[in-house]
């Protein structure tokens, strides 16, 4: 952003100092990624840059750790479990969270503040407490060490993200559109699918992506609830660091970074689409 012509000398100096601080913070956050990604192509089984890598010798680089990932039954089973649990919990969290957000958006909803606080409590309560509570409860109902138990636990963790994003989308929703649809003879179901849902879709999809990321990256709850058959990729990485340190973890971390970047790009595109639908930005 350009500095206004009327800015004082002190304001100009602070502008450049502020840009420098932002650049340092960005480097601090991105710096570890700039190390992990090239190390994942190391031909040697080390977590440091070899002499050949530093001299950009092609022999110092290899795809062996990516090959080990795609040929290892343990890693493939872990990623399969992560996607199964992540997709199932995301669907449940999206449906339940959207319904809850629609209910909370109604002015006639009693105790909206208390219900909202209850729904987003999994984001506030320390995860270790939630995991311990889920473990004791699921153990009594025979859901511990089952896929259903892990899916339900991740659903509870993902619902707050869906509720918040959909509620934020509904805050700028023009309710006169609903009355207009009813006046034209549309029933509530048709009004929802033809009027409400298309306008809140960016918020729904954004919440679903956050719920999926939360499930895909979750470790603590899985440690408490899951059994050997429900071993997810984060648990596989955590176990690999404890039991056998292999650069395969760097390859997995690189792929997770790329997946996160893809999802963040999708979220930004959805945000801009939502603004265009609400008329906040020119099409």
Taking residue 42's Cβ as centre, other Cβ atoms within 10 Å add up to 22
Domains of the chain by residue range: 81-245
Report the predicted TM-score, pTM, of the whole model to 2 decimal places: 0.79
Find all residues with CB under 8 Å of 233, minimum gap 6, and list them: 75, 78, 79, 81, 82, 216, 252
Residue 88: predicted pLDDT? 95
pLDDT higher than threshold 90 for residue 179: no
pLDDT in tens, 144-178: 889 999 999 999 999 999 999 888 888 777 778 87
Q: Average pLDDT of the chain?
A: 84
Number of H helices, E strands in the chain: 14, 0
Distances (CA, A) of 236 to 47, 158, 214, 260: 18, 21, 16, 19
Helix (H, G, I), strand (E, B) or coil at 42: strand
Residue 20: predicted pLDDT? 92
Mean pLDDT to the nearest integer, 232-236: 88
pLDDT in tens, 75-107: 899 999 999 999 999 999 999 999 898 888 877
CA distance linking residue 131 with residue 136, whole number of Å: 9
Residue 86: predicted pLDDT? 92
Residue 283: predicted pLDDT? 47
**Percent of the chain whose pLDDT exceeds 70:** 95
pLDDT in tens, 264-279: 888 778 777 766 765 5
Evaluate whether 234 touches 150 at the Cβ level (below 8 Å): no
Evaluate whether 224 touches 134 at the Cβ level (below 8 Å): yes
Sign for the CA dihedral angle at 193, 196, 198, 201 comes to negative
Evaluate whether 102 touches 166 at the Cβ level (below 8 Å): yes
Evaluate whether 18 touches 40 at the Cβ level (below 8 Å): no
At 281, is the pLDDT very low, low, confident or very high (cuts 50, 70, 90)? Answer: low
Fold of 81-245: MetI-like fold (1.10.3720)
pLDDT: is 202 or 221 the higher one? 221
């Amino acid at each position: 952003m350009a500095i206004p012509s009327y800015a004082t000398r002190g304001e100009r100096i602070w502008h450049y100092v502020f840009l420098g601080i932002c650049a340092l913070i960005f480097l601090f956050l991105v710096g570890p990624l700039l190390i992990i990604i090239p190390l994942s192509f190391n031909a040697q089984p080390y977590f440091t840059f070899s002499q050949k890598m530093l001299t950009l010798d092609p022999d110092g680089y290899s795809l062996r750790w990516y090959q080990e990932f795609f040929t290892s039954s343990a890693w493939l089973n872990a990623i399969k479990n992560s996607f199964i649990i992540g997709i199932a919990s995301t669907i449940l969290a999206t449906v339940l969270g959207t319904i809850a957000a629609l209910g909370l958006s109604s002015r006639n909803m009693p105790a909206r503040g208390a219900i909202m606080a209850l729904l987003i409590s999994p984001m506030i309560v320390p995860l270790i407490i939630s995991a311990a509570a889920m473990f004791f409860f699921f153990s009594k109902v025979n859901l511990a060490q089952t896929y259903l138990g892990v899916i339900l636990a991740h659903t509870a963790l993902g619902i707050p993200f869906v509720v918040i994003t959909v509620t934020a989308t509904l805050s700028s929703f023009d309710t006169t559109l609903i009355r207009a649809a009813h006046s034209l003879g549309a029933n509530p179901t048709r009004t929802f699918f033809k009027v409400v849902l298309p306008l809140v879709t960016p918020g729904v999809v954004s919440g679903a992506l956050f719920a999926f990321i939360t499930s895909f990256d979750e470790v603590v709850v899985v440690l408490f609830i899951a059994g050997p058959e429900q071993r997810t990729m984060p648990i596989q990485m955590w176990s690999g660091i404890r039991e056998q340190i292999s650069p395969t973890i760097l390859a997995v971390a690189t792929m997770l970074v790329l997946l996160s970047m893809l999802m963040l790009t999708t979220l930004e595109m959805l945000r801009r689409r939502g603004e265009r639908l609400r008329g906040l930005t020119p099409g």
